[in-house]
Structure 1
């Protein structure tokens, strides 16, 4: 008989139950509002170019990723019933891994496992949390998942683009003696790399802490920061520093204000 558990209990939420729901609500609203650039790009034909479409896709990904995580965490923090069905948990884990570019097919290793436990020591469902429910030996799954993650991170387009990006910025700063240009280039480079490194290290820290028996609170914090920080900073870095997009946004808001005055 398959001893697969039908209900999974979310634990380690109580320690954040006092102030976190309000903070998450504000953060979720800020992410959705700050990604107004999507609407501007859709409305303005002149902005429908590869660079702006890339920003639009990034914003949509931020919204979907945070919508998959934050409402559920807020609901669990405010409710006494913190259970979640197995199907819903697998679905959330699939969306989490897809959103963070950790391929969803890894979950195929999880769905067929026999489950002996029903307590997830995490703030949301992910692949590693589902592995821990199994009564089977999942060492090979952990090794494969860690190896795959290392290969994915080191060979990802983000890593390659970041190294290329740094090389080009440094080359420009060395070959051109324009202080204003160098200052702007370094400022842009620093902000882009900061968000990328935060996303990279919080995600990697969460993966490592899943494989050792300490640091549950730190892992939860790293998992939350992985979604919150890039989602809040991406619109600022990729939209607010883009001159054409700022001009179009100002024009749209001015038109709206004039219509309201009439």
Structure 2
């Protein structure tokens, strides 16, 4: 079996610097390598100079776009069940797509997952090996050989909820009078629009005779509310033909600070 040719480190200085930045922002080194594999694969699909463009932004932006990559990878290499790729999963990353359609790029899940895994095996494991060893303090085992059917992303690949206060992962929801929206409808709406991002939903049903007027949605990552709201103070959606208003969560709102 042919050996994997080591990449030219000098030609990948930008990638190595960005990999170190990802780790410095708190992303696990192995997970950072998978994120880099995804971005480098996108570059090969026509996202011109994606790594350089991401590198030119600050750490806050880097964290947001990294969260998008992690969400996509969780969909590409899920455990235990599989799910289709949401075309609305990368609103920030798609800024760099130019004339390309992210919809078309994500059209075939097997092609995407196979391509990303190939970049991971052929390039990233060799390109970042010394950095990974430096961080872990020990030499890793042999890289997965090219051509193997083993999935390098499968082992312990499940995105953990960031250890940040729940309030930073929430949005406060209000409904129009007489038009409440159920927890299941809200749960399905955000998951379909932004990928599997909802941890739980709470709707305040204080009186069976009076429709609910407010609630909250808790996401599994603090970047999701930032992506949804952007610079808006209030965002409006239509869920099952009913209006839904979202605001950043305020912990002092009565009845909402406690978990369900």
TM range (shorter): under 0.3
The TM-score normalised by the length of structure 1 is: 0.21
Compare the two structures and name the one with the higher strand fraction. 2
Q: Which structure has the higher relative contact order (CA within 8 Å, separation 6+)? A: 1
Compare the two structures and name the one with the higher helix fraction. 1
